[in-house]
Amino acid sequence: MMLRARLTEVRLALMLLTRFPVGNLDDPAPTMGASAWAWPLAGLAVSAPSALVYYVLCNAGFGAQISALGMVGTATVLSGALHEDGLADMADGFGGGQTKQRKLEIMRDSRIGSYGVLALIFAVAFHISFIAALETPQTVLFAAIGIAMASRGALPLWLHLMPPARQDGLGHAATSVPKAGVSCAVAIGFVSLLPLGLIPALIIFAALMVCGGLVCLLAMKQISGQTGDVIGAIQKLSELSGWAVLVVLL
């Protein structure tokens, strides 16, 4: 029964953070918070096929830029652009709203503004550039999986620490993250970076946490809490910080 419950939580994590078809969950379904420990595994599900696309393109002679574009594009499709959408919405809300309520209204609006467009352009451009800057394909493969898992593994911690900014929505529904789930997700995320080496793993993980903490502070100042968009933006910005630090290290 315990194994079955864990597998159901993994399926829920995939349902929340990816586009993989996992079928319907039987009642009683676990809460979002209960699935948080498995969010790094959703990162694995997205990044492993993406890394394979990079490897195939790279070995086919397409060069670093196109191979990196293939990897980023595949990850975006498999995740449903969930985190990119959060980044764009947060940029629009924080950049265009004058009050907390107005910022939240803009973030919920399905339309995208200039701040959101620019945030996505820079995010994708930096992501591709960081990947292409690495000369060893094996390093890219390890980093793609490790950083994707670690950046998602930290998300339960920020949900646990930050209050919801509104009384509905994904951010509010996912607030009931147990401490054990937080610890497990963070641990899985860190371990996933170890193929890069212990010291690089420590430095990259520290960069992910610092970046996530800074976005949290910004969100607390702007809207007094977190929303699903904020959590998505934290993942994307943390992921970019991890790649940036890796480029500097190597």
Question: How confident is the model at residue 170, as a pLDDT?
Answer: 59
- Using one digit for the tens of pLDDT, what is the confidence trace for 208-249? 999 999 999 999 999 999 999 999 999 999 999 999 999 999
The band of 175, judged by pLDDT with boundaries at 50, 70 and 90, is low
The DSSP result for 58-74, as a single string, is HHTT-HHHHHHHHHHHH
Contact 49, 78 (CB under 8 A): yes
Dist. CA 156–CA 159, nearest whole Å: 5
Give CB contacts under 8 A, 24+ apart, made by 80-83: 80/18, 80/19, 82/17, 82/232, 83/232, 83/233, 83/235, 83/236, 83/239
pLDDT, mean of residues 80-85: 94
Cα–Cα distance between 204 and 2 in angstroms, integer? 33
CA 102 to chain centroid: 25
The 3-state DSSP class for residue 158 equals: helix
**pLDDT above 70 (res 113):** yes
| pLDDT class of 174 with cuts at 50, 70, 90 | low
Q: What is the mean pLDDT of residues 1-20?
A: 86
Give me the chain's average pLDDT, please: 91
Q: Does residue 169 carry a pLDDT above 70? A: no
Cβ neighbors of 189 (< 8 A, separation 6 or more) are 40, 43, 149, 150, 151, 152, 153, 154, 205, 208
Distance, CA of 138 to CA of 194 (rounded, Å): 14
Tokens of 128: 């591709």
Phi/psi at 215 (nearest 5 deg)? -65, -40
Q: Is 224 left (phi over 0), alpha (psi -120 to 50) or beta?
A: left
**pTM above threshold 0.75:** yes
Instruction: Tell me the backbone φ, ψ of residue 205, rounded to 5 degrees.
Output: -65, -40
pLDDT tens for each residue of 46-71: 999 999 999 999 999 999 999 999 99
The Cβ-side half-sphere exposure at 88, using a 13 Å CA radius, reads: 17
